Chains A and B, each alone.
Chain A
Amino acid sequence: MEEALTFAVIAAVRLLVPLTVLRWPFWGGLACIAADVFDSTFQDVVGVEPLEGHYHDVDKVFDLYYLAFEAWVARGWLDSLARVAALVLFGLRVFAVLLFELTEARWLFFAVGPNIFENFYLFVAGMLTINAAYRIPSKGHLAAIIVFVGAPKVLQEYAMHYREAQTHDFVTEKIFRLPW
């Protein structure tokens, strides 16, 4: 019963929050990240892990779900450089997740499709929030932006998926020293 209730709360948050992306592309994107953090924190706080320890599999579906909303918004960007780059990066991410589901090889996230899309999306959505007329000036600028937002993501995914680091535990236990 507790497991079902915990999962229902998490599912409600993870399914509803991404709708905000359609109204507020940048702030909604941030809310999706907060919702992503919320699910594991909520499980820690209530001390219940739903789906008998298989929540991680569902978590990946929720992640793709909210990224799909962002891709949908990116699909409507007038700047063709930003739009095409975003959709290619989203496609790579989906491809990596599908490949992982087939092979169970976590390093694929790092090697094939690190989630550069999300950082790139937030960068462009943020710039458009500042200035609705924002356009990426050239392919050179596009490359620089992808390196700027992509390099930290590749490093993060290298630690998480190639070195299989438990980043959530490290942050909650070693950095914030949370009591749960």
Chain B
Amino acid sequence: MPWIPQAEPARLAEARRWLIVAIVVAVAYAPAAVAIAMLVTGEA
């Protein structure tokens, strides 16, 4: 029987949780960061 590495469900769930939180924050704030950059540099 070959050895198959098993993912740790708790750690995987924790990683997935943080990934989703990071994505939500990035989607919300990255465009705002661009807007600030444009306002500061006079592009907007």
Residues of A within 8 A of B (CB): 26, 30, 33, 119, 122-123, 126, 129-130, 148-149, 151-153, 155-156, 158-160, 163-167, 170-171, 174-175
- Per DSSP, chain A at the interface is helix
Please give me the residue from chain A that is nearest to B20 by CB atom: A126
**Subset of 30 A-B contacts with CB under 8 Å:** A30-B23, A122-B27, A122-B28, A126-B20, A126-B21, A130-B16, A130-B17, A149-B24, A152-B28, A152-B32, A153-B28, A153-B31, A156-B31, A156-B34, A156-B35, A159-B38, A160-B35, A163-B38, A163-B44, A164-B44, A165-B35, A166-B43, A167-B31, A167-B34, A167-B35, A170-B34, A170-B38, A170-B43, A171-B34, A175-B34
Shortest distance in angstroms between B20's beta carbon and chain A's nearest beta carbon?
5
Q: Return chain A residues, CB-CB under 8 Å to B44.
A: 159, 163-165
State A149–B32 Cα separation when bound (angstroms): 11
Would A122 and B24 count as touching, CB distance under 8 A? yes
State A163–B21 Cα separation when bound (angstroms): 30
State A124–B34 Cα separation when bound (angstroms): 24
In the complex, given contacts A30-B23, A159-B38, A170-B38, what are 19 additional A-B residue pairs having Cβ atoms less than 8 angstroms apart?
Answer: A119-B28, A122-B28, A123-B24, A126-B23, A130-B16, A152-B29, A152-B31, A153-B32, A155-B32, A156-B32, A158-B35, A160-B35, A163-B38, A163-B39, A165-B39, A167-B31, A167-B34, A167-B35, A170-B37
Shortest distance in angstroms between A28's beta carbon and chain B's nearest beta carbon?
13
State A160–B35 Cα separation when bound (angstroms): 8
